[in-house]
Amino acid sequence: MPERAANAQVRNGAFSAADTGGYNGRMGFLPMDRREMEERGWDALDFAYVCGDAYVDHPSFGCAIIARLLEANGYRVGIIAQPDWRDPASIAEFGEPRLGFLVSAGNMDSLVNHYTVAKKRRHTDSYSPGGKTGLRPDRACIVYGNLIRRTFKKTPIVLGGIEASLRRLAHYDYWSDKLRRSVLLDAGADLISYGMGEKSIVAIADALAAGLSVEDLTYIPGTVYRCRSTEHTFEPVVLPSFEEMQRDKLAYARSFGLQHGNLDPFSGHALVEEYPHGVFVVQNPPAEPLTTDELDAVYALPYERSWHPRYDAAGGIPAFSEVKFSITSNRGCMGDCSFCALNFHQGRIVQARSHESILEEARAMCAEADFKGYIHDVGGPTANFRQPACRKQAAHGACPHKRCLSPEPCAQLEASHADYLALLRELRALPGVKKVFVRSGIRFDYALYDREHGREFIRELAAHHVSGQLRVAPEHISDAVLSVMGKPPRHVYDEFVAEFEAACREAGNEQYLVPYLMSSHPGSTLAEAVELAEYCRDLGYNPEQVQDFYPTPSTISTCIYYTGVDPRTMKPVYTPRSPHEKAMQRALIQYRNPRNRDLVREALHRAGREDLIGYGPKCLVRPAKRT
């Protein structure tokens, strides 16, 4: 067994903050090369962590969390950040690790990181030194996995992170416009640790350290494995085979519906997907969410809270600068928006850190030399979620076929901002803190559903936690589209706007709501796109940027985009797919841009809304000039 880190008692996912050293227990960066490894007195590693991101030792980066957690369990971990995937020697920096390789594409899917929704190459990479592009490959998990396997034929490979998590089973791939196999098979890996991964990675490490073969690790929640027989799989749900899904898109929709119904750690079953030549990919049920003590322990690990010094000459890592003075207060999201993969990755059960854990991090932040008194954010996937949606979820999980918030709030919903309000007040009162901003997404409908503290929260938000603009995400204003999105009806957003504007007036602050709007989402015909354009006109809002719907892996909306049906109901849903129609829908929202005039006129003609072409106050565009 590996030697244990001082005072660490983290075993099988059960751990407490007192065991991990806290914010004053920093131990130096984990080694990135053999010299740094030997300086620690190590002759070899237990795990080599290969990552598509630069190495930033901060809990906003998944690599840092998993590596530090393994370190707290006594394992020797080194980081191979952004290796040259064209050179096999880059993967062998530390030699062969004793227990295995851990592989992640980084904090983002590598293809989302590299390409816009129009499939154009991005010019910067915020997770690379100086924002430089080209330091990671497309499909990084697959490339890294195969690179390792070329040199280390038998060493266990465990995939993790967002890319592997959302591609853990057969999935529609927007960039190749086809169904692809589980990334486990294409990467030549042995396991996927999906979701947030803390519990599963400790269980994997302990099993390997105890001498179990990686082929025997078929029992760990939150993992995916391959096998030749499923006779020992307990009560599995058998998905359509890969070949069947290749032949029939509706089979993939049925498969995705089954996956969506088995996302809960308390009620979910193992999922079995068959591939040619007698190969099966099995997804175990998700790992249980972390308790508050366990989540506190994760954030109390001895992070250096900076990028590795080797990046100083390049100006550091841009993504870290955005989060350095922000605090993650929760994880999980009960919102279940169709276009979001959070329910597939973090789950629907909200988990929150304790006040003392957050305050301890804030005090450490105040002691940083470059802290100017401003905490840039306190939140998570959704800032104002601090508890599960209802009491049932803590013991029995989230309802598999029912949404908590939309189209109407569940009768069992217990919406409360009391704890978040108390936390924000405590943070505001800390010596050295001038302002605490809330910039993570505010779920505005949840604020309104809290009849006891919701309006109080909106008033304090407007008075203390906004800097000129508050970004919110109605996404659309057509109830038909909002229903497909899993968002509340338009009247709910309108009510929030009125409440927020009244709160700003009461506080004497001139502040504005900036709505995120999405074009070309499934359910949006040109008629709904025109409706959204009219809303922008009436609001006097001229959005400089519009998010065109991006079909990223493992979302309901992406499944609809590919199959044409909602996987939960198998009913058809209209979906704009042609680049030209998507361009027209986007142009309608930005109808004031002179470059969009021809597209706007064409869209209005196609939608039968020529009444909006002319010189009147309600018109979106003038008629084309006669030649």
pLDDT tens for residues 93-108? 999 999 999 999 999 9
Q: How confident is the model at residue 18 (pLDDT cuts 50, 70, 90)?
A: very low
Residue 380 lies in a domain: yes
Phi, psi of 198 (to 5 degrees): -60, -50
Q: What is the mean pLDDT of the chain?
A: 94
Residue 625 lies in a domain: yes
Reply yes or no on whether the pLDDT at 2 is more than 60: no
Domain boundary residue, one of 175, 194, 223: 223
Q: What type of residue is 361? A: E
Residue 87 lies in a domain: yes
The answer to whether 184 and 146 have CB atoms below 8 angstroms apart is no
Same-domain check for residues 354 and 483: yes
**pLDDT tens-place string over residues 408-461:** 999 999 999 999 999 999 999 999 999 999 998 899 999 999 999 999 999 999
Q: Check residue 16 and give its pLDDT.
A: 41
Reply yes or no on whether the pLDDT at 544 is more than 70: yes
Same-domain check for residues 100 and 47: yes
Q: How confident is the model at residue 4 (pLDDT cuts 50, 70, 90)?
A: very low
| Region 482-503 average pLDDT | 97
Same-domain check for residues 69 and 191: yes
Same-domain check for residues 583 and 486: no
Same-domain check for residues 460 and 578: no
Residue 242 lies in a domain: no
**pLDDT tens-place string over residues 113-158:** 999 999 999 999 999 999 999 999 999 999 999 999 999 999 999 9
Structural domain boundaries enclosing 360:
325-519
Same-domain check for residues 176 and 215: yes
Residue 289 lies in a domain: no
Q: How confident is the model at residue 8 (pLDDT cuts 50, 70, 90)?
A: very low
Residue 243 lies in a domain: no
**pLDDT tens-place string over residues 52-91:** 999 999 999 999 999 999 999 999 999 999 999 999 999 9
Residue 177 lies in a domain: yes
Q: Check residue 625 and give its pLDDT.
A: 85
Residue 288 lies in a domain: no
Same-domain check for residues 391 and 436: yes
Q: How confident is the model at residue 26 (pLDDT cuts 50, 70, 90)?
A: low
Domain boundary residue, one of 189, 223, 257: 223
Same-domain check for residues 627 and 488: no
Q: Check residue 627 and give its pLDDT.
A: 66
The answer to whether 143 and 51 have CB atoms below 8 angstroms apart is no
Q: How many helices (H) and strands (E) does the chain have?
A: 23, 22
Phi, psi of 304 (to 5 degrees): -75, -15
Q: Indicate which CATH number applies to the domain containing 95.
A: 3.40.50.2300
b/e map 431-458, b = 16+ CB within 10 Å: eebeebbbbbbbbbbbbbbbeebbbebb
- Measured N-to-C along each axis, helices 62-72 and 198-209 cross at an angle, to the nearest 10 degrees, of 40
User: At CA 533, angle to CA 528 and CA 539, rounded to 5?
Assistant: 125
Q: How confident is the model at residue 561 (pLDDT cuts 50, 70, 90)?
A: very high
Same-domain check for residues 508 and 568: no
Calculate what percentage of the chain has a pLDDT beyond 90. Answer: 91
Phi, psi of 64 (to 5 degrees): -65, -40
Q: Check residue 546 and give its pLDDT.
A: 84
Reply yes or no on whether the pLDDT at 310 is more than 50: yes
Reply yes or no on whether the pLDDT at 566 is more than 70: yes
Same-domain check for residues 603 and 483: no
Same-domain check for residues 450 and 591: no
Domain boundary residue, one of 207, 223, 239: 223
Number of domains in the chain: 3
Contacts of 13 (CB under 8 A, 6+ apart): 198, 199, 202, 203, 287, 290, 294
Q: Indicate which CATH number applies to the domain containing 343.
A: 3.30.750.210
| Region 275-293 average pLDDT | 97
Q: How confident is the model at residue 576 (pLDDT cuts 50, 70, 90)?
A: very high
Q: How confident is the model at residue 23 (pLDDT cuts 50, 70, 90)?
A: very low
Q: Check residue 265 and give its pLDDT.
A: 95
Same-domain check for residues 460 and 562: no
